[in-house]
Amino acid sequence: MSEFEAEVKKAEKELEQSLVPVTPIEDDPKPFADDEYLGDLKMQAQEYGQRLQDAANKARDFANEKFAQAGDKFKEFSNKDPQELVEDAKEFARQKPGQTILISAAVGLIIGFLLKGRR
């Protein structure tokens, strides 16, 4: 199970634990079940719960798809010779110099933040 799936399961478990069933009070002449306002709230809560579940499922599917793509790229890179990777990088830099500069700047910022955070 991936880290993302574990987080989704944890969120679902916390949601289930925080939901408290609405039950009528025994001495109350009008139980909650007859209250139209609470019925609407319960219906909205169920709708939002379903939306949350759908969003979590879509996010999990998206993440799984991206992890699979990343795994495929990793396998592709691991099968290539290092010299071939350098040539591919040079070719990319020739074709898209602006993108190469932006990627280099972003990587430099991330490394800078990581190194600064260690101090």
| Pairwise pLDDT comparison (35 vs 70), residue with the higher score | 70
* Type and span of the H or E element at 1: none
The CB-side HSE value for 63 (13 A sphere, CA atoms) comes to: 14
- Amino acid identity of residue 13, one-letter, is K
**Cα-based distances in Å from 41 to 13, 22, 35, 100:** 21, 11, 10, 52
Confidence of residue 9 (pLDDT cuts 50, 70, 90): confident
Domain layout of the chain by residue ranges: 1-79, 81-119
Residue 111 has pLDDT above 90, yes or no: yes
Q: Average pLDDT of the chain?
A: 82
pLDDT of res. 36: 67
Confidence of residue 91 (pLDDT cuts 50, 70, 90): very high
Q: Give tens-digit pLDDT for 29-52.
A: 555 545 666 777 888 888 888 999
